[in-house]
Structure 1
Amino acid sequence: MRRGFKAESERIAASVRAELGLAKIDVLDPWRTAAHRGVLVRGADELGLAAEHVAQLMVNDPDSWSGMTLAERGVKLIVLNPIHSRARQCATLMHELAHIMLDHAPASAVTSVSGMVLLSDYSDDQESEADWLGAALLLPEAALLHHRGAGKSAAQIAQMFGVSLDLCNWRCRMTGVEKRLSYRRSA
């Protein structure tokens, strides 16, 4: 991840919230955010795929994928795994939207001669950036400081923001929120 990117992510998260008329500590709706940016979001079950492809994606191997971004003729589409929990879909949607916001080259889908869909991948640095920005969009540092400082537990914050407890704990740890609040309490 490039130097200064974590701080840049917090600025981007604040800017996106401002675009949507939200305060830095407000809950951001990932679907509204995607729509505001002109990005279509669909579940794989909404794509009109052949029954055998739907079965492969959602019955035989639903844990092998979470989402993907496709772009064609100026249209950007994020496809989500509808089998996953709403919290997981939120994180996946914001991760994929982060790729778009950061102008990462979207994955391409190519159908092989045998009918198998093949996808290209993002670089490791691009994946790290999308992870960080996606999480910052969902749980900005300012919101974590505010709500944890007000006595809300990580579980309460996760529920309020529609994310997993694991994601909330990771953000609290990675942003140093827990350490700063602990230091304030001991001072």
Structure 2
Amino acid sequence: MPINKAALARLAGDIRTETGLSPQDAFDPWEWSRRNGVKFVAIQSIPGAEEAVRYFTATRFGVWSAALVSDGVGHAVFYDDSRPRVRIMSDLTHEVAHVEAEHLLTPAWTSEDGKCGGGNREQEEEAAELAAAILVPKEQATLWALRGWPAESLARKYGVSDKLAEWRMNVSGGRIIANRTRNRRAR
């Protein structure tokens, strides 16, 4: 059953609270991992995986960045540690979102351009929405937008990409409110 955006926002707040974070604190997926017993494994650290590492980090760079797997009892996340730190944060938190949303693991798909993705596009969209809300709380995105502060500073505060910070500022409604206020003052 799909999870609506309001429920995803509440879940993000719950996850941040359970992790001991205020809206001003950056989310640490590695801390979440320690608290929840989900291992994060950089593919570069797997002995004997040199050929797979070369494939995913050089030959076909960009087709894959992280994957949540189950061993029947628990979960682990395999990820590409050669990516920029902001991408790793996003990738890991996306996989955290799958766990927290209790998504069923399904076989991965490969798109026509060769990129890998989850087996359920609806769940992938939910995980993207939830991960973004975990990483950049709505209250802070709204505040930044209302005050006209740059997305880049929000991105630095939370350790995310400028693009993600910009997106959160836009979907928070803060930019719409700020524009309406400016328009009213201009009349």
TM-score bracket for this pair, using the shorter chain length: 0.7 to 0.9
Aligned twin of 1:113: none
Give the 3 Å change call, closer, same or farther, for CA 130–71 of structure 1 in structure 2: same
CA shift for structure 1 position 33: 1.8
Identity of aligned residues (%): 28
Q: How does 1:120-131 map to 2 (within 5 A)?
A: 121-131=118-128
What residue identity is the alignment partner of 2:135? Answer: L
List gaps (5 residues or longer) in structure 1: 110-118
Closer, same or farther: CA 106–47 of 1 in aligned 2, 3 Å: farther
Residue 151 of structure 1: CA displacement?
4.8
Preserved CA contact (<8 Å) 1:135 1:171: yes
Cα 1:152–1:143 shift into 2, 3 Å: same
CA RMSD of aligned residues (A): 2.2
Contact conserved, 1:45 with 1:54, CA < 8 A, in 2?
Answer: yes
| 1:2-151 equivalent positions in 2, closer than 5 A | 2=2, 5-107=4-106, 121-151=118-148
Letter in 1 for 2:171: M
1:180 aligns with 2:177: yes
Shift of 1:182: 2.6
Residues 92 and 27 (structure 1), Cα distance of their counterparts in 2 relative to 1, 3 Å cut: same
Match of 2:164 in 1: 167
**Residue pair 2:144, 2:169 contacting (<8 A) in 1 also:** no
TM-score normalised to structure 1 length = 0.84
SS in structure 1 at match of 2:41: strand
Unmatched tracts of structure 2, length 5 or more: 109-115
SS in 1 for 2:82: coil
CA distance in 2, matches of 1:123, 1:73: 20
Partner Cα separation in structure 2 for residue 186 and residue 36 of structure 1: 47
**Partner deviation per Cα, 1:40-99 (whole Å, 9 max, x = no partner):** 111111122432222112221121111000110322111111121100111111111111
Residue-by-residue CA offset, 1:148-173 (whole Å, 9 max, x unaligned): 44553111000111111111111222
Which letter maps to 1:152?
W
TM-score, length-scaled by structure 2:
0.84
Number of residues of Structure 1 aligned to a counterpart in Structure 2: 177
Asked if the contact 1:105/1:122 (under 8 Å) is kept, the reply is no
Q: Cα offset for 1:38?
A: 1.7
1:78 aligned counterpart, secondary structure: strand
